[in-house]
Amino acid sequence: MFISILYTELFKIFRRPRTYISFGAIAVIVMLVQFALRVNGTEFIRFFTDSQADIFEIPESQILNGYFVCVAILHLILIHVPLLVALIAGDMIAGEAQTGTLRMLVAQPASRTTLLLAKFSASTIYVLLLLLWMALFALGGSLLLFGQEDLVVFRETDLHIISQQDVLWRFFAAFIYAALALTMIAALALLLSVFAENALGPIVATVCIVIVFTILQQLKVPVFEQTINPWSFTTHMLGWKGFFYVEQTSEGVTITGSVENPMALVKSGAILIAYTLLFVLVAERVYRKKDILC
Amino acid sequence: MLSVRGLTKRFGEFTAVDDLSFNVEQGQVYGFLGQNGAGKSTTIRMLLSLIRPTAGEINFFGQSLFTHRKEILAQIGAIVEKPDLYKYLSALEHLSLFARFGGHRPDQKKHLLLLEKVGLAQRATSRVGTYSQGMRQRLALACALVNDPSLLILDEPTNGLDPQGIADMRQLIRSLCKEQGKTVLVSSHLLSEIEMIADRVLIIHKGKKVAEESMESLTAKASQLKLQALPEKRYVLEAYFLSLTNQ
Amino acid sequence: MLRLVWISLVILSNSIAAQASIDPATLLAGVKKKYDLVRDYTAAAQLKTNVLFIKAPLSQVTVYYRRPDQLKIRNQKGISFVPKGTVNINLNNVLGLQNFEAIAAGTEMVNGVSCAIIKVFPLNDEEDIIRATLYVDPIKLLVLKSIISTRESGTYQISMQYGKYASWGLPDRVSVEFNTREFKLPKGTTLDYDNGTAKTITQKGPQKGKVDILYRSYMINQGVSEAIFR
């Protein structure tokens, strides 16, 4: 039964023209960034390397490669993708309540728990497909346009050079991690969707929550750093970048295949999963007992 | 087939349905009447487990709705209020969708026959967004019928239909009942329509049952009330309804 | 035993006296003559960057040299941040000076070898090099260490170890120490993930970085295209 409902939910998602706005938006954004970096990539790199330009030979043309462009795109896009995820997941229940189809759906011979889980799973599949699409354009497209080379990742106070043989698995891991983070956003939007009878509310609320916590994180105010930020999901959503921080030997040489403090990534992943489960659990509890009045 | 006992629904201080009890027998067309806000839709929503009753029992086919919800809903087809459908899907896609919900594989041939029955075969592949209100009503009925339910719960099924559509719907409900032995619980504000198709009628007012009669007994009562002597030409049920609801 | 100590002291004092008596310009000329044996080379090497804020793997590089002072380090594959001085500031910049003053500044042990210290001051104001201190093995005529101060790129300390290419004056290992600057990007621009590791704190003032080049093989005087240096 679950599979049948999941199929119908996916069918509805992918028959709805609105769904493809996200895919189109991602393709356009990726191509715009690629174009911008093709035209002005060295300027972009100089922003990071300017302070060292008179000390080191900066191999700008080598740094500007497909992997670097892909990281730059993920950097720009993954902050905004929660909006695209909320657009679908926030609409899952509230949207059907708004259009009146929810009462037909709930009167079907399936438990509300099954229905909710099918809707959540459909949102998750949508997230995965969105990320696959992004990977295709951002990684595949950038490699085609800019070629392969070692990856240079800039952090606030250091930079990591990762040899190209050691890069691809990091992208796969980062995409899987990003899927985890976006699934959590889908769960949040679904939870808010359960309370609303208008699709706009949960979509806007989800985006607002993400923005507020991102601002709190970026403010770097000690009181937030010690209280909210360690548990804020936006802090852990950035975990995908952790796969691009490489561990060093005591002699200062990076270790191939290593990740700096992998336990932090495990912890962040666990926190994201915990949030996802919490949101889905609360959504299920509320939805199971909710009167469908619309 | 359907037995409701002491069904009550309160929204805070407001009691929408108050201690309602009735029985629907197999093969009956059961008319469900009440003014706007009388509690018809709230009752139908409780019957379909869309909302939870504050008190009372609902039994279908001898089983409690609260413990056998899934099995019971598998045997019910329903239209609840105005038929809101997925505007971006076609009629055939709707039927496939609801067939899957019922645990059946979509059967396009069968679905086309069903659409023919409700008069939508010509527009089977058009998007619902392009349908008139009447066509949506017909499709909603087809969706309710797609899994061959033994009980149909139809909330205002003639809403938005033109006179021919109303006549077709009347004909269809009768044939479903007489030829296929289905039970139909139908609510409508068109009292004349109910009078023409119902075997038995339940009238509620302000959430309470005010009458539950067979059409024969109702006609007899109406005669005793000398309702026929009223200056306007009215149907029996309408006259009786108005006398009960003090209008 | 006492006799052995006595003999050692005599030899040591003779050696110091001999070195002290060496004219720095003559010694430099001897060194230059040895280095001039090499017109060009292509060398396969391993490069290790040891800079606090650069986390990099070992790189396999090819080093190209052409007399008088063209040097190019190219990664065989991958990216390296090579200090400009490694390329621009090399021994040939000093040995190739036409107008300079050389002063003997005593001796010092470098890697167990007693070296003559020669300070070189270019007399031409347009030279990038302000001064250079060379630690020269007077017997093998090899420069084991040099400290070169420049107008453009600060001070570089270059240490060299020689092996099978010593007869050509080519080192097996070169360590370049140089001044680096603070690396700090504006907050919020990189949206870093906080994985709990302590941040790399680079000081605001000058600090040291180091690059080690380990040469595996040289192809000497086989010709190197001019195009490589463009």
Within a domain: residue C37?
A: yes
The C-alpha atoms of residue A162 and residue A159 are separated, in whole angstroms, by 10
Backbone angles phi, psi at B213, to 5 degrees: -135, 155
A4, A17, A99 member nearest B84 (Cβ): A99
pLDDT value, residue C205: 65
Q: How confident is the model at residue B80 (pLDDT cuts 50, 70, 90)?
A: confident
pLDDT value, residue C15: 46
CA atoms within 13 A on the CB side of C89: 32
- Give the structural domain span for C201: 21-229
Whether A4 and chain B come into contact, CB under 8 Å, resolves to yes
CATH of the domain at C32: 2.50.20
A 51-70 near C (Cβ less than 8 A)? 51-52, 54-59, 62-63
pLDDT value, residue B226: 55
Starting at the edge strand that comes first in sequence, how are the strands of the sheet with C171-180 ordered?
Answer: C70-75, C59-66, C40-50, C207-220, C171-180, C154-162, C142-150, C129-137, C113-122, C100-110
Q: Which of residues B161 and A140 earns the better pLDDT score? A: A140
- Show Cβ contacts of residue B130 under 8 Å, excluding neighbours closer than 6 positions: B123
| Cross-chain residue pair C55–A160, CB shorter than 8 Å | yes
Within a domain: residue C200?
A: yes
Q: What is the mean pLDDT of residues B231-241?
A: 63
Q: Smallest Cα–Cα separation from B198: which of B229, B241, B161, B162? A: B241
The C-alpha atoms of residue B158 and residue B176 are separated, in whole angstroms, by 16
pLDDT at C198 over 60: yes
In terms of Cβ atoms closer than 10 Å to its own Cβ (0-12, 13-18, 19+), residue C26 is: exposed
Chain C contact partners (≥3 CB pairs within 8 A): A
Within a domain: residue C7?
A: no
Domain boundaries, chain A: 2-289
One-letter amino acid for residue C200 of the chain: T
Please provide the DSSP assignment of C169-214 as one string.
Answer: T-EEEEEEEEEE----PPTTSS-----SPPP----SS-EEEEEEEE
Q: Which of residues A10 and B221 earns the better pLDDT score? A: A10
- Work out the percent of chain A whose per-residue pLDDT is above 90: 66
3-state secondary structure of A290: coil
| Cross-chain residue pair A161–C184, CB shorter than 8 Å | no
Within a domain: residue C119?
A: yes
Backbone angles phi, psi at C52, to 5 degrees: -50, -40
* Chain B partners within 8 Å of A17 (Cβ): 88
pLDDT value, residue C7: 46
pLDDT at B231 over 60: no
Helix (H) or strand (E) holding B223: helix B215-224
For residue C119, what are the β-bridge partners? C103, C133
For residue C191, what are the β-bridge partners? none
| Cross-chain residue pair C178–A55, CB shorter than 8 Å | yes
Residue in chain B nearest A118 by alpha carbon? B101
Size of interface A-C (CB pairs under 8 A): 141
pLDDT at A272 over 90: yes
Q: Smallest Cα–Cα separation from A294: which of A162, A201, A203? A: A201
pLDDT value, residue B235: 63
Q: Which of residues C229 and A271 earns the better pLDDT score? A: A271
**Inter-residue contact B74 to B103 (CB < 8 Å):** yes
| Cross-chain residue pair A292–B87, CB shorter than 8 Å | no
A149, A154, A163 member nearest C185 (Cβ): A154
> Measured between CA atoms, how close is B107 to chain A, in angstroms?
15
CA of C78: how far to CAs of A74, A123, C40, in Å?
22, 40, 25
* Chain B partners within 8 Å of A93 (Cβ): none
**Inter-residue contact A136 to A26 (CB < 8 Å):** no
Q: What is the mean pLDDT of residues C207-213?
A: 86
Q: How confident is the model at residue C88 (pLDDT cuts 50, 70, 90)?
A: low
Within a domain: residue C1?
A: no
- pTM as predicted: 0.83
Q: Which of residues B221 and A162 earns the better pLDDT score? A: A162
Whether A48 and chain C come into contact, CB under 8 Å, resolves to yes
pLDDT tens for each residue of C154-191: 788 889 999 989 888 889 999 988 888 888 888 777 88
Kindly report which listed range (A108-122, A218-232, B232-246, C162-176) carries the lowest average pLDDT score.
Answer: B232-246
pLDDT value, residue C2: 47
pLDDT at C28 over 60: yes
Helix (H) or strand (E) holding B189: none
A4, A16, A101 member nearest B100 (Cβ): A4
Q: Which of residues C7 and A45 earns the better pLDDT score? A: A45
pLDDT value, residue B224: 66
The C-alpha atoms of residue A46 and residue A57 are separated, in whole angstroms, by 12
pLDDT at B160 over 50: yes
Please give the ipTM for the structure prediction: 0.85
> Measured between CA atoms, how close is A286 to chain B, in angstroms?
13
pLDDT value, residue C9: 44
Q: How confident is the model at residue A239 (pLDDT cuts 50, 70, 90)?
A: very high
Q: How confident is the model at residue A176 (pLDDT cuts 50, 70, 90)?
A: very high
- Work out the percent of chain C whose per-residue pLDDT is above 90: 20
B 123-182 near A (Cβ less than 8 A)? 140, 143
For residue B79, what are the β-bridge partners? B154
Whether B and C touch, i.e. at least 3 CB pairs below 8 A, reads as: no
Q: Smallest Cα–Cα separation from C118: which of C131, C138, C103? A: C103
Q: What is the mean pLDDT of residues C64-78?
A: 83
| Apex B169 CA angle, B164 and B173, nearest 5 | 150
pLDDT at C102 over 80: yes
* Chain C partners within 8 Å of A252 (Cβ): 48-50, 55
Count of domains observed in chain C: 1
